[in-house]
Structure 1
Amino acid sequence: MLGASGHNPAGVSAVKPRSLSSHPPLFGAIDLGSSNCRLLVARPCNSGFKVVDAFSRVVRLGEGVREKGYLCQGAMDRAIEALRICAKKLRKHPGIKLRAVATEACRSADNRDDFIHQVEAETGITLDIINAEEESRLALQACSALLDDRPYAIVFDIGGGSTEICWIKVAQTGETRCIETLSMPCGVLCLTERYASVENRRDRFEAMRSEIRERLEDFAQRNCCSDILDDNKVQMIGTSGTVTTFCGIALGLERYERHKVDGSDLRFDDAERVTELLLRMEADKRKGHPCIGNQRAELMDAGAAIFAAIRDIWPLATLKVADRGLREGILVDLMRADGHAIDPCEARRHIGARIPASV
């Protein structure tokens, strides 16, 4: 067994070593989302960790789930093939402690149990379907290093099948408390599918933006977010492929470079310029852009609409870009449970690059 179910990382099983060895402790995290399957393997290093191996593939597991209510066979086949690659990589690291989680696509699907059993039978990986609160907790744990001393924060994660928004209280000690989490059943994949019949791209973008904005209004009002925006008491962190792609484009990168994106400040006016650039960009140019690529190209309009609606509701000047999320949060949990003094502020810490004045 390559993974373990349940939410207690201390109970995660290790991959049985083929022979006795003196390998340093290794930990692995798999995030099977509605769009992507991602693996991260790392070992504790000082008070953080060092990445040993990684893997990411677009699988679109959530394709059609909102409409049909179940995972389609093609999507399951793509996910299982990606997980086979993960399993092959994990077998290179005997004794690794792993937690593998699945999110919104599996939460929503009627046939999720059958899929989980099939994954274990064919790959040896046991997936843990986590709820939205656990998903948000892990993402926040990974991103906490990027928070400054302002007392409140909006942390959001635009996924394939859902978008999570966390309203956070930040203590002077740096400790964080989640006041409320909102999980919207609107991610880049399901939103793209739902608005596919709207032929005009600009109209489609504005319709998606309007829907997300309406979904966010009650949450923002309930937490009195607008009352303190003008006092510079609120900060924002965005963690998702949409936000990191926006940042890469704003930086003018010739190829995506994580160490230049993670931790960068993205100005809202730059985000608006990137949005306009994307909406003018034809499909072949989006597919050929080094920070977008073929697999992400058709999902960018939905991601841009969600991102724009978030900026509409919380009109701050900048946000912090986080190329980190569930996998890093899982690794921090696993390493702490194993007795390692992991400080999220040292886990995959990077200093972001400076974004030029214009795109």
Structure 2
Amino acid sequence: MQYGSHSPRDEDASRQAEGQNARGTAAHSHSRFRGKNNRKRRGSQPEIRGLRGPVERAPDVVYEPREPQRARDADGKQTTGETGQAKHAHPFAGAARQGDEGKRAERPDRHGKRHVNGPGNNSSKTQSGEKDSRKHGSAGRHGRPSRGQRPLYAALDLGTNNCRLLIAIPQQKGRFRVIDGFSRIVRLGEGMAQSGELSQAAMDRALEALKICAGKMISHDISRHRLIATEACRQAGNGAAFLEQVHAYTGMKLEIIDRRTEAYLAAEGCGSLIDRKAEAAVLFDIGGGSSELALVRRGRKNAPISEQITDWTSLPIGVVTLAERFGGKDVDHGVFERMVEEVRNHLAEFSNNESFNRVWQKGRAHLLGTSGTVTTLAGIHLKLPRYERRLVDGLWMRSDDVDTVLQQLIEMDYDQRASSPCIGQERADLVMAGCAILEAIRRTWPCQTLRVADRGLREGALTQLMSADNAWLPPKRGRWPRKKQQ
């Protein structure tokens, strides 16, 4: 019997790994400008049947750490708390705000002017009503920010298992540079399958993580943001009440998005990794409480990914819900097969897309996974001593590579999985549930290649925000040689 695989990807709190990844990712981003004969080819990237050779990773996300701005008091001195984070009187500060509850507190900028609007507002005014063009987010010609006036954007995803944040600066169209991030396993949906509500312990864990996210957004002086809650808050009877508590505690107002929006944001975030020579792809995101899938059929060149999605679905099954139903610690072959069949039953109706299946059977297609499931699998395949995003994001894996890793995982006991550097104790009881979801997808749409994406919903939200503001930098001149005049 051959199997698929699983892995949860994010690591705790603004990892140093993301900073270390910046150099490698940025260096790789220039590889597409090398001469045709000098282009590097990665040995780990297999060819897709019917396509011409491996395709390099899309260099549209670069990770680069950046020093957060420090708040200053009325005398111009920096103010820091016990942990070194700046103390801002800002809407995100929640209960820590001073002065009138209904007003945004004033604070001086580095030029001594006092602002009445927080960083969530693009149009900053001083006390005299004068617009401050030096602030992040001020626009240059044609409404675009100039190179010296760079707005900062943030996207937060509060899911069933994780709380994640990205802060980024727009680059050329469709690209941005990540300067800070945060990820923590909070298991917000723990026990919800039985009770139908979020437990107090789970809400407390999520609130602590969200408080850290709020602090980061304050210190970086965000221009615009999108704060998203997904399956756990959608399904819980007390989900809306919990988000009101989040607003009171942190000042952040999260929106609960529907499943269609979640699927399209995930596709927006990783669509650039679909092989340009492929005719079709199945894009999937295995979450904690739900799993989103999109059938992508390539059409007009450079068309937005949203126009290439022919069908989508959201399964009410994720790694947390499946592990709680079947047990995640002691998983033998029998338990694993029952989990796979459970997922396949949910996929049965969605997989009956005849026109898409005809294209799929030609072989010019591949799977694209944007979940922690596939990134952990990739880390184990590469035998990484610790997770490294630059080595995982965009990696191609052959079907037999996936089978080999899954066979290793299913032969491990719980303690062995917990000791794996790419899994860890927090995820050891969820990894086999993710494997079962992936295996069900692989059996439904069999193919020879799987591409791994360490990007998804947050990246999609950032891209949409930047596109709505037309915040992209103008193209760099002189990069491409001009054609000779005839």
TM-score by length of 1: 0.88
Structure 1 gaps, min length 5: 4-12, 344-359
Aligned residue pairs: how many? Answer: 334
Partner of 2:290: 162
Q: How far apart, CA to CA, are the structure 2 residues paired with 1:43 and 1:200?
A: 43
Q: 1:106-255 to 2 correspondence within 5 Å? A: 106-147=233-274, 148-175=276-303, 176=305, 177-196=308-327, 201-255=332-386
Which of residues 155, 178, 184 is equivalent to 1:29? 155
Q: How far apart, CA to CA, are the structure 2 residues paired with 1:126 and 1:247?
A: 35
Q: 1:1-359 to 2 correspondence within 5 Å? A: 1-2=91-92, 14-15=119-120, 22-23=135-136, 24-47=150-173, 48-147=175-274, 148-175=276-303, 176=305, 177-196=308-327, 201-341=332-472
Query: Do the aligned partners of residues 342 and 222 (structure 1) sit closer, same or farther apart at CA in structure 2, a change above 3 Å counting?
Result: farther
Q: How far apart, CA to CA, are the structure 2 residues paired with 1:31 and 1:57?
A: 11
Residue 266 of structure 1, CA deviation: 1.4
CA deviations over 1:21-43 (Å, ceiling 9, x no partner): 54421000000010000000001
Contact 2:233 2:239 in 1 (8 A): yes
Q: Name whichever of 237-246 and 43-52 sits farther off.
A: 43-52
Query: Do the aligned partners of residues 78 and 197 (structure 1) sit closer, same or farther apart at CA in structure 2, a change above 3 Å counting?
Result: closer
CA deviations over 1:118-160 (Å, ceiling 9, x no partner): 0000011111100111001111111111112322221000000
Residue 234 of structure 1, CA deviation: 2.4
Q: How far apart, CA to CA, are the structure 2 residues paired with 1:231 and 1:214?
A: 25
Amino acid at match of 1:274: V
Contact 1:332 1:342 in 2 (8 A): no
Partner of 1:43, secondary structure, is strand
Q: How far apart, CA to CA, are the structure 1 residues paired with 2:337 and 2:119?
A: 48
Query: Do the aligned partners of residues 18 and 93 (structure 1) sit closer, same or farther apart at CA in structure 2, a change above 3 Å counting?
Result: farther
Partner of 2:285, secondary structure, is strand
Partner of 2:58: none
Structure 2 gaps, min length 5: 1-90, 94-117, 127-131, 137-149, 475-486
Partner of 1:221, secondary structure, is coil
Partner of 1:92, secondary structure, is helix
Contact 1:143 1:324 in 2 (8 A): yes
Between the aligned residues of both structures, percent identity stands at 44
Residue 65 of structure 1, CA deviation: 1.8
Calculate the aligned-residue CA RMSD, in Å: 2.2
Amino acid at match of 2:170: P
Amino acid at match of 2:176: F
Query: Do the aligned partners of residues 269 and 275 (structure 1) sit closer, same or farther apart at CA in structure 2, a change above 3 Å counting?
Result: same
Query: Do the aligned partners of residues 88 and 108 (structure 1) sit closer, same or farther apart at CA in structure 2, a change above 3 Å counting?
Result: same
Contact 1:335 1:342 in 2 (8 A): no
Q: Name whichever of 41-50 and 79-88 sits farther off.
A: 41-50
Partner of 2:446, secondary structure, is coil
Q: Name whichever of 236-245 and 46-55 sits farther off.
A: 46-55
Amino acid at match of 1:72: S
Partner of 1:269, secondary structure, is helix
Partner of 1:120, secondary structure, is helix
Contact 1:150 1:170 in 2 (8 A): yes
Larger helix percent: 1
Amino acid at match of 2:231: E
Q: How far apart, CA to CA, are the structure 1 residues paired with 2:283 and 2:473?
A: 21
Q: How far apart, CA to CA, are the structure 1 residues paired with 2:447 and 2:254?
A: 38
TM-score by length of 2: 0.65
Amino acid at match of 1:245: T
Residue 256 of structure 1, CA deviation: 0.8
Residue 224 of structure 1, CA deviation: 4.7
Partner of 2:471, secondary structure, is coil
Query: Do the aligned partners of residues 281 and 43 (structure 1) sit closer, same or farther apart at CA in structure 2, a change above 3 Å counting?
Result: same
Q: How far apart, CA to CA, are the structure 1 residues paired with 2:329 and 2:210?
A: 34
Amino acid at match of 1:286: R
Q: How far apart, CA to CA, are the structure 1 residues paired with 2:328 and 2:218?
A: 45
Q: How far apart, CA to CA, are the structure 1 residues paired with 2:462 and 2:125?
A: 23
Q: How far apart, CA to CA, are the structure 2 residues paired with 1:104 and 1:271?
A: 28
